Chains A and B, each alone.
Chain A
Amino acid sequence: MIAESVRARDTAGVRARGIAPVWAIATVAFLLGSLLVGLGVGAVEISPGAIVVSAVAHLPLVHIHSSLSAVQDAILWQLRAPRVVVAALVGGMLAIAGASYQGVFRNPLVDPYLLGVAAGAGLGATLVITYGHASAQLVPVAAFAGATLAAACSYILGRSAGPARTTGALVLAGVTVTAFLTAVQTFVQQQRTDVLRNVYSFILGGFATASWHDAAVAAPYIAASSIVLVLHRRVLDVLALGDEEAASLGVNVARVRLVVCAAATAGTAAAVAVSGLIGFVGIIVPHTIRLLVSTSYRAVVPLSLLVGAGFLVLTDVLARTILSPQELPIGVITAFFGAPFFAVVLRRSRGRA
């Protein structure tokens, strides 16, 4: 009997850890808590209890009375809820895209912002806002085209500098591409001062103008992209063995890289199209999960989605309360925390470069 229980324990060791239940519960609780904070905090404070009751009251076929006044109800569901939902979508997407790029490029330092993907999406969106007919449907498409172009440029440039695994080369290529695209974008936007404000508020990033329409535009891309990325979580662990070993295990490395990049880029482009440029989420969130939970992509990819969503909702709360009634651009806050974080990751990746 003792031998049997020992054997059972041994067998339990021969499995991929995946996500321990305690972490699954903790991250879902973090996300729900963040949503309640995001919905409740502001010039008009609304208690978490009232939010939950009001949410239930809005469900079809439910007949209970919310304690909120009509004004409170409007603030909650017309102003704050879309803002919180868009922030959650964007945060989850940027984090899961960061984790996935880090996986396919085997490089802990890449994220959508540093790869130039965000800048490319920004340029695409700016071109449409400036020259196009500002049709809301076109912005995500243009952002995607720009993002794809930027990702391809960074990758090709980074590879040309040396072997693909050189950690620094890809980041430097991303910085170069970002600088160039930003220059083009500035040139474009300065030609048309009448739309400058629109472009600027887009570039600075933020959720002040987020609407249910924005959420509806971005959600399908982000959902599809996230599903594809989550499905690749085990394959990303195989890729961590390097191209040669992954290929010797039967993985078509080039195809995986292409599919994962396309999915992450499409999702990022949709996120950028509704939020503007927000950096470092894709660095902060996945690396925090690696430190706390596990370095396996089976954990990092799905948890990045949940934690990233909660993280950006909380960051947005900071952005609108720190200098209240003024709003701070959210990218300022993510960079404030993200840049030192990046420095730490850079130091830790020493010797693997």
Chain B
Amino acid sequence: MIELRSLSVRLGDTHALRDVSISVEAGEWVAVIGPNGAGKTTALRALCGLVDYDGVILVDGRDTRTLSRRALARLTALVPQIPETPPGLTVAEYVLLGRTPHLGYFAMESVGDRHAAERALDRLELRPLAARTLTALSGGELQRVVLARALAQDAPILLLDEPTTALDLGRQQQALELVHALREGSGLTIVSTMHDLTLAGQYADRLVLLDRGEIAAEGTPDEVLSTANVSAYYGANVRVVHDEDGVFVLPVRP
């Protein structure tokens, strides 16, 4: 579904990404992990055409360079880490903005677009909040609303940038369960950046560990989340526990 071939991104003088190749199957959930500044977010931004890059990105077999901005936005929906919340906008209006890539430049939403927004709201059980303003939402509600906007885009690929930042433990789990359910329900392909290694290991099929813009490790959670990897690339003292419920990365005071 997605193929990055020797992707490099320069931000100013530094290489944010260097010669990164990743391929993601349709319906797969790949989590990009790595310490701060490793290039996780840059990889997502390159995927949805927000930064210039060297190399090739194929989405659904097509080179994204040959796609228009709108066409790319119909294939990839980005959920930003810290979304902008224009004051006064209602949840319904915000989710409708997700229909933008399906609309002509000067067009207004049709009934079909409204139905798409309704479906997105229904799937996330947000219909009762439709008339609320964004600024009146809690952190967890806002996270779901942003997800609903991305779903309204009707793109087969969902890009999640740190989807659990600013949420408490319970809401982190709920948010990721929700993404899991959406993926099961409609075969979405998911690429997410994740800070929390334990959660990343529990939800993603595959992990890609970036370090200073290069791939340091790649594979199943069991393979990537080793004590050696985490201490080498995160500089953290951890104990990694493997059992039937998955992998757990536990910080231990040095």
CB distance from B116 to the nearest CB of A (A): 10
Say whether, besides A237-B93, A252-B69, A295-B86, A14 and B105 are in contact (CB < 8 Å).
Answer: no
Does A50 interact with chain B (Cβ within 8 Å)?
A: no
Within 111-146 of B, Cβ neighbours of A (below 8 Å) are at 114, 117-118, 121, 127, 130-131
Partner of A10, one of B71, B96, B127: B127
The answer on a CB contact under 8 Å between A296 and B88 is yes
- One digit per residue, 1 when the CB lies within 8 angstroms of any chain A CB and 0 when it does not, for chain B 75-94 equals 01110100110111110110
The answer on a CB contact under 8 Å between A14 and B69 is no
The answer on a CB contact under 8 Å between B74 and A250 is yes
How many of chain B's residues touch chain A, expressed as a range?
35 or more
Once bound together, how far apart are the Cα atoms of A10 and B50, in whole Å? 36
Does A240 interact with chain B (Cβ within 8 Å)?
A: yes
Does B63 interact with chain A (Cβ within 8 Å)?
A: no
Say whether, besides A14-B117, A14-B130, A249 and B89 are in contact (CB < 8 Å).
Answer: no
Does B153 interact with chain A (Cβ within 8 Å)?
A: yes
- One digit per residue, 1 when the CB lies within 8 angstroms of any chain A CB and 0 when it does not, for chain B 191-227 equals 0000000000000000000000000000000000000
CB distance from A19 to the nearest CB of B (A): 12
**Chain B residues within 8 Å of A14, by CB:** 92, 95-96, 114, 117-118, 121, 127, 130
For A243, give the chain B residue with the smallest CB separation: B50
Say whether, besides A13-B131, A250-B70, A245 and B92 are in contact (CB < 8 Å).
Answer: no
Once bound together, how far apart are the Cα atoms of A237 and B106, in whole Å? 12
Within 60-76 of B, Cβ neighbours of A (below 8 Å) are at 68-74, 76
Say whether, besides A248-B73, A251-B69, A15 and B88 are in contact (CB < 8 Å).
Answer: no
Does B228 interact with chain A (Cβ within 8 Å)?
A: no
Does B100 interact with chain A (Cβ within 8 Å)?
A: yes
For A249, give the chain B residue with the smallest CB separation: B100
**Chain B residues within 8 Å of A13, by CB:** 90, 92, 127, 130-131
19 contacts between A and B (CB under 8 A): A13-B131, A14-B117, A16-B108, A16-B109, A17-B93, A237-B86, A237-B89, A237-B93, A238-B97, A240-B86, A240-B89, A244-B45, A247-B49, A247-B50, A247-B69, A248-B49, A248-B80, A251-B69, A296-B89
Task: Name A residues whose Cβ lies closer than 8 Å to a Cβ of B.
Answer: 10-11, 13-17, 231-232, 234-235, 237-238, 240-242, 244-245, 247-252, 290, 294-296
